[in-house]
Amino acid sequence: MDLLSNLALGFATAASPWNLLFCLTGVLLGTLIGVLPGIGATATIAMLLPITFQLEPVSSLIMLAGIYYGAQYGGSTTAILINMPGESSSAVTAIDGYQMARRGRAGAALAIAAIGSFFAGTVSTVLVAVFAPPLTAIALQFGSAEYFSLMIVGLVSSIALAHGSVVKALGMVVLGLLLGLVGTDIYTGTPRFNLGILELSDGLNFVALAVGVFGIAEILRNLENEHERDVMIKKVTNLWPTREDWKQMTAPILRGTAIGSALGILPGGGAILASFASYTVEKRISNSPGEFGKGAIAGVAGPESANNAGAQTSFIPMLTLGIPANPVMALMIGAMIIQGIVPGPNVATEQPALFWGIIASMWIGNLMLILLNLPLIGLWVKLLTIPYYMLFPAIIAFCSIGVYSVNSNVFDLYAVAFFGLMGYGLAKLRCEPAPLLLGFVLGPLLEEHLRRAMIMSRGDPTTFLTRPISLILLLLAVGVLVVVLLPSIRKKRDEVFVED
Amino acid sequence: MKSLSFSMRDLICGLLFIAVGLFFAIQAYGLELGTAFRMGPGYFPLVLAGILVLLGIIVIIQGTQLEHEPMGPIAWRGLLFILPAPIFFGLTVRGLGFVPSLFLTGLLAAFASTRMRPGTALLLVGGLTLFSVIVFSYALGLPFRRFGPWLGL
């Protein structure tokens, strides 16, 4: 009955008029940026992070979470209508969704995506509620060795998800870790790597890094070759799926939800991996695999359910362990720290209203999305016709305002320009920014736990292998790394990523 | 193009990894290293820097075996106008104040696109500034000075 009373507390918190308003703002904003290409959830949340200073902790986290899963919805809308995934997690949806749209079934594809996402969102909200407390209990047993190994799993998984060269992704993680160490050593207070710049003694600004690498660099990439976006969309009609559609979508939605929920929990996993995995599974077990790529309903229903489920359950490691599963979760942790909340197993017991409020708001947010977005599709389509050159000056302006308002520190703005240039350069070299950001966030934590674990074991590095949980986690990390490096799977992985 | 030549992209990438790794290694070496038991501030960074250098070498070696694709165009115009925009905002937001500084920042950024016409830019950035002042300054109450001392107001 604990679960019910906890959920009741959560819904009471999330359903207060003020929080409902922020939830609505979040999902609308999320859908908007999901629909608009050239700006993702990471950059938006980074921009808005400073503004959440002014809000209550619960309200701000509810809004930021809304942006995150709202963006998934918006991303699939554009993936289906114009074959342009607004978010990387909807890349798979574009394959069959767009084909359905070309056959005049855009309405059904959108409805299937929305229904699948809503179902997955409902199930995974319950899963988060059920699994968060026992995981929190386990997390309380974690020592430094376990934390260290868990972070290694997260970092390795982020490599698995990166496009292209594994070595480069690994390099990005290491570079991120190193950048995260800039500032002052926490144990001895020794300044390090700050080049004698006073502003760097507290370390590099996380928001400036995220905005630069994700926001500014993305704009530069879009400006490389400006071409007219041809948006030719017929009027979307016949939203409601036929009885045949229902029959075809039920099983993929169930499977997608299961796959997504499981993969989302893995640190470093989440929505992108989940949607790719679901698509592969559906294609493998289908009676008519030839249909895939030509508008298979399962190819929309499965991945869409999976990415939404994965997006929700990726909150589990964040809420219970304080370990981010992806850059967006890293930003949420940043938001909690700004509010003076230390993310980790204690959040659930010390701030139950916050913890359960966020969980309940996810379900409410999903309900809002399905109620609002299907009728609003016309509006989102209109937005797609705004040319890019009208959008990016606003993005630059909001980035500048957002970063400046974190500490009212002018130096952070110079850092944005620097990281923008760096991010663009790295993109040109085919290096992914996501592992870099994750490394940056985990760098200081990783070092802290490594040093503490080594002190506790009196300098014996086998401590990571003799403690069972730590050993299991490290084996998991090695497993992921081996899988990624195996030639046959590597080829498959390249194929999968080629599709987006 | 399948020959044993260096891929430009991978060569630059590898050299970059090596350079950054060496930079951190040299800096870390100047710090107290300590032992594996009691690590000093330089221990962990030195290990990481070593790994990065190693990865850089692997990237370069791998680059000799792969087919190469061109680097693609570089957004020179974008770089020229976009990157200075936040810097300009930083230099002027206190002196000029939030409103004029943001307007000029937006205008600067707007010209990164070849498609932007001056009239459209003025209109767009004007609207953007108005929106930002209402939302950020009045509604959210961020502590910005709307017009700064340089204007003599």
CA distance B120 to B97: 24
From A69, A94, A85, select the one nearest A313 (Cα to Cα): A69
More confident residue, A385 or A491: A385
Quick check: A334 pLDDT over 60? yes
* pLDDT digits 0-9 by tens, B64-101: 765 666 777 888 888 899 999 999 999 998 889 889 99
A394–chain B nearest CA distance, Å: 7
Q: What is the secondary structure of A305-370 as a DSSP string? A: HHHHHHHHHTHHHHHHH---SSHHHHHHHHHHHHTT---STHHHHH-HHHHHHHHHHHHHHHHHHH
Q: What integer pLDDT is reported at residue A234 of this predicted model?
A: 59
Quick check: B33 pLDDT over 70? yes
Region A458-482 average pLDDT: 87
CA distance A124 to A310: 8
Return the residue of B nearest to A175 by Cα.
B52
Of B12, B37, B125, the CB nearest to A429: B12
Q: Write the CB contacts of B97 (distance below 8 Å, at least 6 apart in sequence).
A: B144, B145, B146, B147, B148, B150, B151, B153
For CA atoms A280, A282, A286, A292, the dihedral sign is negative
The owner of tokens 């308002």 is A405
Neighbours of A50 (CB within 10 A): 23
Dihedral of the alpha carbons of B121, B126, B132, B138, in degrees to the nearest 10: 180
Kindly calculate the radius of gyration of chain A based on its CA atoms and give it in whole angstroms.
22
Quick check: A37 pLDDT over 80? no
Q: What integer pLDDT is reported at residue B1 of this predicted model?
A: 45
Provide the token pair at A61: 């986290």
From A277, A283, A267, A285, select the one nearest A303 (Cα to Cα): A277
CA distance A204 to A195: 12
Q: What integer pLDDT is reported at residue A187 of this predicted model?
A: 81
Region B52-63 average pLDDT: 90
Quick check: A378 pLDDT over 50? yes
State what percent of residues in chain A have pLDDT above 70. Answer: 91
- List chain B residues with CB under 8 Å of A420: 82-83, 86
CA distance A351 to A355: 6
More confident residue, A177 or A313: A177
Lowest-confidence range among A58-62, A271-275, A334-338? Answer: A271-275
| 3-class secondary structure, B24 | helix
Answer whether A461 sits within 8 Å of B112, measured CB to CB.
no
- List chain A residues with CB under 8 Å of B73: 224-225
- Residue B129 — pLDDT band, cuts 50, 70, 90? very high
State what percent of residues in chain A have pLDDT above 90. Answer: 9
Q: Residue B2 carries which DSSP code?
A: -
- Residue B106 — pLDDT band, cuts 50, 70, 90? very high
Q: What integer pLDDT is reported at residue B144 of this predicted model?
A: 81
Q: What integer pLDDT is reported at residue A224 of this predicted model?
A: 80
Q: What is the secondary structure of A83-144 as a DSSP string? A: S--SSGGGHHHHHHHHHHIIIIIHHHHHHHHHHHHHHHHHHHHHHHHHHHHHHHHHHHH--H
Neighbours of A386 (CB within 10 A): 12
Mean pLDDT of chain A: 82
Q: Write the CB contacts of B133 (distance below 8 Å, at least 6 apart in sequence).
A: B98, B99, B102, B146
Of B55, B77, B116, the CB nearest to A171: B55
- List chain B residues with CB under 8 Å of A210: none
Q: What integer pLDDT is reported at residue A233 of this predicted model?
A: 59
* pLDDT digits 0-9 by tens, A150-171: 888 888 877 876 667 888 989 9
- Residue B2 — pLDDT band, cuts 50, 70, 90? very low
Neighbours of A86 (CB within 10 A): 31
Region A126-139 average pLDDT: 82
For CA atoms B32, B34, B40, B45, the dihedral sign is positive
Q: What integer pLDDT is reported at residue A87 of this predicted model?
A: 67
Answer whether A396 sits within 8 Å of B16, measured CB to CB.
no
Helix/strand/coil (H/E/C) assignment for every residue in A401-445:
HHHHHHHCCHHHHHHHHHHHHHHHHHHHCCCCHHHHHHHHHHHHH
Lowest-confidence range among A54-58, A236-240, A466-470? Answer: A236-240
Q: What integer pLDDT is reported at residue B57 of this predicted model?
A: 93
CA distance A366 to A364: 5
- List chain A residues with CB under 8 Å of B32: 188, 190
Quick check: B18 pLDDT over 50? yes
- Residue A496 — pLDDT band, cuts 50, 70, 90? low
Query: Hey, of B89, B104, B145, which one would you mutate to test binding to chain A, going by the most A CBs within 10 A of its CB?
Result: B89
The number of residues in chain B equals 153
From A316, A358, A270, select the one nearest A89 (Cα to Cα): A270
- Residue A500 — pLDDT band, cuts 50, 70, 90? very low
* pLDDT digits 0-9 by tens, A242-259: 888 888 888 889 998 998
Domain positions in chain B: 8-63, 76-151
User: Which amino acid is residue A211, in one-letter code?
Assistant: V
Provide the token pair at B91: 């230099």
- List chain B residues with CB under 8 Å of A408: 143
Region A307-321 average pLDDT: 83
More confident residue, A249 or A232: A249
- List chain A residues with CB under 8 Å of B42: 192
Kindly calculate the radius of gyration of chain B based on its CA atoms and give it in whole angstroms.
24
Query: Hey, of A175, A199, A401, which one would you mutate to test binding to chain B, going by the most B CBs within 10 A of its CB?
Result: A401
Quick check: A1 pLDDT over 60? no
Q: What integer pLDDT is reported at residue A499 of this predicted model?
A: 41
Per residue in A263-284, is it b (16+ CB within 10 Å) or e — as a string?
bbbbbbbbbbbbbbbbbbbbbe
Of A401, A411, A450, the CB nearest to B44: A450
- Residue A236 — pLDDT band, cuts 50, 70, 90? low
Quick check: A194 pLDDT over 90? no
ipTM of the complex: 0.91
Query: Hey, of B11, B83, B102, B132, which one would you mutate to test binding to chain A, going by the most A CBs within 10 A of its CB?
Result: B83
- List chain B residues with CB under 8 Å of A404: 89-90, 93
Quick check: B48 pLDDT over 90? yes
B48–chain A nearest CA distance, Å: 6
CA distance A322 to A343: 5
Domain positions in chain A: 3-145+194-431
- Residue A488 — pLDDT band, cuts 50, 70, 90? low
Secondary structure of chain A: what % helix, strand, coil (to 5)? Answer: 80, 0, 20
Answer whether A458 sits within 8 Å of B37, measured CB to CB.
yes
Lowest-confidence range among A150-164, B107-121, B127-141? Answer: A150-164
CA distances from A55 to A164, A252, A335, A352, B104 (A): 40, 40, 11, 18, 29
Quick check: A124 pLDDT over 60? yes
CA distance A206 to A24: 27
Query: Hey, of A21, A209, A451, A481, which one would you mutate to test binding to chain B, going by the most B CBs within 10 A of its CB?
Result: A451
Q: What integer pLDDT is reported at residue A172 of this predicted model?
A: 93
The number of residues in chain A equals 500
Q: Is the pTM of this model over 0.90?
A: no
Of A171, A193, A414, the CB nearest to B59: A171
Of B48, B120, B125, the CB nearest to A178: B48
Quick check: A448 pLDDT over 50? yes
CB A321 within 8 A of CB A348: no
- Residue B5 — pLDDT band, cuts 50, 70, 90? low
